[in-house]
Amino acid sequence: MWNFPIMPPQASDYALQHDLLFFAITFLTVVFTLLVPALFVFLAIYYRRGSKASRKNAHDHDLRIEIAWSVVPLLLGIGIFAWSAYLYADTRKPPQDAIDIFVIGKQWMWHMQHPNGVRENNELHVPAGKPIKLTMISQDVIHSMYLPSFRVKQDVLPGRYTYLWFKPTVPGKYNLWCTEYCGTQHSEMGGYVYVLEPSEYERWLASGGQKGYNEKLTMEKAGEKLYNELACGNCHGAVDGPRGPSLYGIYNRQVRVKIGGREQTVLADDSYLRESLIKPYNKMNVGYEPIMPEYSNLSEEKILHLIAYMKSLGSRPAAPAGGQTPPASGSAPAAPERAAPNGSAPAPSDQTPSSVTPGTQTTPTGSM
């Protein structure tokens, strides 16, 4: 017996709502497509030349008919618009408790990374019954993430984060496609989504996921490691300093920046943090000079790690007793003092400290 399903399986809570809207639009399209030609043919035959149809007291218009064919389609159109706008807006607002998974599209594969550091290529493991948020970016050209069984699709762009979320409901194996022509091997850029029971998913995560995974660092820890390697803490301490602002609590905070010489307030979201790393002079923090280096050579994966670490930094810690500035998380530890000759006061180390005391003669940085 032939197995030829008309549509992919409904594997998310959004799929049913999507299909109801789809079939409603299809039904109305078919009805009006058939109704108008049917009326046209009927009237053409009924009032054809030589027919016995009465033509006495013919009217040149009928207000009731005109209102009906104007108001009814208008109300149906407004209803479909409101219904589809509601569903569209719902797909753009992921729940607060969504599991954040990061996706990089590249010719010609999908690279996934879970918050605990587990990596996957062309495969995505997710738990059933929990919302999943995909934060996506392209490393080269425009791609498009399409999950037909979940009825969601979103373009993946170079230089810009886009988002997609869904809530899988039925465990199983489902297709994943790129639906934007992205080069000669575009048709091969596909994979699978594996929806697991929550307990099975936790075991999968704990085991390190896909074979070949050996770096047991969460995205936050990998970002912290890179943060230290780049010596970001030398300028960005626990509080705003003369070289640069603090990154504590930076995520989703309103910041004052200069754009083209004009001061504006912007939201420090993922896109802002990414731009501040690779093009820090596009949006300069008010009160700081453009001395931060551009990290445009960082891979998208490393940028995601740094952003994950910055997002993990909570509110700014309170200064300890004595008025000393607390050290920045992830900054290099202060170097020990060296003894000066002849018993004089200790000479300072040549190593750059992780934080700068306000009032020193340094130039502010312009990042973030």
Domain residue limits, the chain: 7-42+66-215, 217-316+356-368
Contact assessment for residue 34 and residue 28, using Cβ atoms and an 8 Å cutoff: no
Contact assessment for residue 319 and residue 327, using Cβ atoms and an 8 Å cutoff: no
For residue 125, the model assigns a pLDDT of 93
What is the per-residue pLDDT across 33-64, written as a single tens digit (0 to 9) for each?
A: 999 899 889 888 887 877 777 777 777 777 88
Q: Which has the closest alpha carbon to 278: 300, 254, 308?
A: 300
> In the structure, what pLDDT confidence band is assigned to residue 367 with cuts at 50, 70 and 90?
low
Higher pLDDT, 25 or 211: 25
Contact assessment for residue 131 and residue 167, using Cβ atoms and an 8 Å cutoff: yes
3-state secondary structure of 228: helix
According to DSSP, the residues that pair with 132 across neighbouring strands are 99, 166
Query: Where does 217-316+356-368 sit in CATH, by number?
Result: 1.10.760.10
Q: What beta strand segments (E) does 141-243 contain?
A: 143-147, 152-156, 162-166, 172-178, 190-196
| Mean local confidence (pLDDT), 107-129 | 89
The answer to whether domain 7-42+66-215 has CATH 2.60.40.420 is yes
Q: Exposed e or buried b for every residue in 217-232, given b needs 16+ CB within 10 A? A: ebbbbbbbebbbeeeb
At 207, list the tokens: 């085991």
At 63, list the tokens: 């207000």
Contact assessment for residue 268 and residue 257, using Cβ atoms and an 8 Å cutoff: no
What is the distance between the alpha carbons of residues 307 and 314, in angstroms, rounded to a whole number? Answer: 13
Statement: residue 85 has pLDDT above 90:
yes
Q: What beta strand segments (E) does the chain contain?
A: 99-106, 109-113, 119-121, 123-127, 132-138, 143-147, 152-156, 162-166, 172-178, 190-196, 254-259, 262-267, 284-285
Prediction pTM value? 0.63
Higher pLDDT, 53 or 28: 28
Statement: residue 167 has pLDDT above 80:
yes
What is the distance between the alpha carbons of residues 298 and 300, in angstroms, rounded to a whole number? Answer: 7
Q: What is the residue whose two structure tokens read 């709502």?
A: 17
